[in-house]
Structure 1
Amino acid sequence: MRAIYSKLGLLLILTSCLLWAAILFVPILPLSIAQKAISTASLVIISEVLFWLGILLAGKQAHRYRRQFNPYSWWQRVTHRR
């Protein structure tokens, strides 16, 4: 059961990242300024809620993936391969 929560948490985190990326496309939508502002605010709030809910569900798994996706650790792996 714990594995299901962990995978669901990681899926929520991924969805949150996709919603943050969707914010970049709001300005090119054929909406009024007020609708664009509401859309952007809604995407920010929903993505933050999904992110933190995903962190709660993923638990230690989120910490492991955070370490793997850290660009600093990528640089450390490349420079220490000699």
Structure 2
Amino acid sequence: MRVNSKLGLGLVLSSCLLWVAVLAVPFLPATIAHKAIVTTSLIIISECVFWLGIAISGKELAQRYRRKLNPYYWWQRLTNRH
């Protein structure tokens, strides 16, 4: 795996962690306005990091992982084994 692929995949995974961080925002000791700002910021940053990771990793890697993350593909694998 090339360095660009590793960097791109790392950015995609970090965007997932940012989405998980959004779930923790309601439990922060802050005002509702601050929570709204933090939530919006995390969502925007997460999306930017995700698409930057896809752009860096390249089309081939994105297509390979897109297929593996498709629930239809999972269902096909489950039904073909039995």
Q: What TM-score comes out, normalization by structure 1 length?
A: 0.91
Distance 2:24 2:41 in 1: 14
Instruction: Give the match for residue 33 of structure 1.
Output: 32
Structure 2, gaps ≥5 residues long: none
What is the percentage of aligned positions where both structures have the same residue? 62
Distance 2:4 2:62 in 1: 11
Q: What TM-score comes out, normalization by structure 2 length?
A: 0.91
Amino acid at match of 1:34: A
Structure 1, gaps ≥5 residues long: none
Runs of 4+ in 1 over 6 A off after TM superposition: none
Distance 1:18 1:66 in 2: 18
User: How many angstroms does 1:71 deviate by?
Assistant: 1.7
CA RMSD of aligned residues (A): 1.2
2:63 is the counterpart of 1:63: yes
